Amino acid sequence: MEREDTLRRLKSIEGHVRGVSRMIEKDAYCIDVIRQVQAVQAALSKVSTKILNDHLHSCVITAIRGDDLDDRERVLKEISEVYEMASKV
């Protein structure tokens, strides 16, 4: 169910991006284009947050509860890297 929801959201975003492309092709007002780009960015951010939340509640919890220290360290490093990359955007 969650996978289908994420795919549905991404398809919607894909359509929205095509709409922004059409706006550019039709020489739409710049501020209108920027607002639509911002809407796409916000939608992608929501998808990213949802995927991260799902990951934290599945893969990360499993690794932290597990006995494999290397696996535990790996997932914690991955989460740290994701936050580091997010702060650079």
CATH classification at residue 60: 1.20.58.1000
Predicted confidence (pLDDT) per residue in 1-45, tens digit: 689 999 999 999 999 999 999 999 999 999 999 999 999 999 999
- For the entire predicted model, the pTM comes to 0.84
Q: How many domains does the chain have?
A: 1
Question: Is 55:25 a contact under the CB 8 Å cutoff?
Answer: no
Q: How confident is the model at residue 87 (pLDDT cuts 50, 70, 90)?
A: confident
Residues 6+ apart with CB under 8 A from 19: 36
Q: Is pLDDT at 83 greater than 90 in this prediction?
A: no
Look up the domain containing 12 and give its range. 2-88
Return d(Cα 24, Cα 26) in angstroms, integer.
Answer: 5
